[in-house]
Structure 1
């Protein structure tokens, strides 16, 4: 834990707790996006895609999966690939919850996994080093059990800009999110098959969902566009290496 975070907890702990409880009570509980969570689309080289994570991966903030991350990403990739895809995502998941789910899920092979997890860890009391350890376990599980050759990691959003959060809770969670992202970027740089996205996903007016906490369809499109570019570049590079 950083010195600033420790001092903030000492001085602002009771206020942060009250604000956190209040925010949970008054923030609208939006449903996950409706629609299919697996399928095939497109034509071309075969690409097996797994999308995993929390409420953002599940499409909260969009009405249908077609408007959410999974639908937009599959739509982009299907221009050049025959995509066989699956979405494993659920609101409220943290890194440990996702680990438990995947450990009990039947093994099946995927070429690429897009991972979105961490907001619920940031809003908890979990230390960043414990979160990174769980990220490492997730990456190992994806590689060993699901034969994933390319792991694309989504950064935590800029929580210091979330309109649903009051101050100083917004500042404090933003501080934690930036520390988590910094450590996640360092981890991704050490893992050969892992790439961390650089999508800013700035919560500007009109781009966020009505709860002020989740992406809206325009942000899901930006996120998917960034992921599709990274996946296409890495997938083609890996395929060329394997053929040579």
Structure 2
């Protein structure tokens, strides 16, 4: 209930600024440096792997901002596990929570159907689109329930939404509203984690300094992905 009230208050605050923010967002899309995707699909494994991990999600899963496939989140996670994880990665730039099932479905039968761990990197685009919290929660819950029903999946891990309120390329006023919406959507993920027994939510502990971000001022750099992967590995290694 409180989250809905915060969302209503956010909309009231947003309304007077909407024309300016819409114009600013449109011009920002034209100005921001376009960086390539390096991990729309990756499979990393060796003969010693004892756990299979699926990484799926938006541009952070797609490796935007990394300098190569070897420095993406998935590759760094595989590296952090010292080969104990077989990592399968599916990423798509611009993805919202509603499109997660489609991304997974279109990957089959190219990937296995069972996973020990699932990492979902999602939410930034839902912040940019100001997806209503109830809609976001419903769409994300429907996707998570796919893995809740699989005996093989022991954990679904969703870290906090990418720090849209810290993106250097975003103007301060827009960062403020994105930060409010990030807070709202993170609360929805946290609420889900209290009701779905396999779901774990984690708030990032890393510092979002300038070095964390790539040259576009939005996506993680090689260092950013390394920090994210190491922190995620510590949480899910089990």
TM-score higher than 0.5 = yes
| 1:41-71 deviations in Å (ceiling 9; x for gaps) | 3626x10111100111111111122211101
Give, in whole Å, the separation in 1 of the partners of 2:195 and 2:130: 26
Shift in Å, 1:232? 1.3
Please list every run of 5 or more consecutive structure 1 residues that lacks an aligned counterpart in the other structure: 234-244
Root-mean-square deviation over aligned CA pairs: 2.1
Distance change >3 Å, CA 34–CA 102, structure 1 → 2: closer
CA offset at residue 199 of structure 1? 1.6
Corresponding residue for residue 174 of structure 2: 169
2:193 equivalent among 182, 188, 192:
188
SS in 2 for 1:16: helix
2:55–2:88 Cα contact (<8 Å) kept: yes
4+ residue stretches of structure 1 with deviation over 6 A? none
| Cα 1:170/1:69, change in 2 over 3 Å | same
Give the corresponding residue for 1:87: 89
Cα deviation, residue 185, structure 1: 1.3
Paired with 1:90 and 1:138, the residues of 2 have a C-alpha distance of 16
Is 1:64 matched with 2:68? yes
User: What CA distance in whole angstroms lies between the structure 2 residues aligned with 1:34 and 1:19?
Assistant: 30
Q: Tell me if structure 2 keeps the 8 A contact 1:95–1:117.
A: yes
TM-score by structure 2 length? 0.89
Per-residue CA distance 1:112-159 (angstroms, 9 max, x = gap): 111101111111142011001111011012333694221111211222
The aligned counterpart of 2:99 is 97
Aligned to 1:220: 225
Choose which of 210, 214, 226 in structure 1 pairs with 2:215.
210
Q: What are the within-5 Å matches in structure 2 for residues 11-160 of structure 1?
A: 11-33=16-38, 37-41=42-46, 43=48, 46-78=50-82, 81=84, 83-104=85-106, 105-106=108-109, 108-144=113-149, 147-160=152-165
**What number of residue pairs does the alignment pair up?**
230
The whole-number CA distance in structure 2 between the counterparts of 1:214 and 1:121 is 15
Closer, same or farther in 2 for the Cα pair 1:146/1:59, shift >3 Å? farther
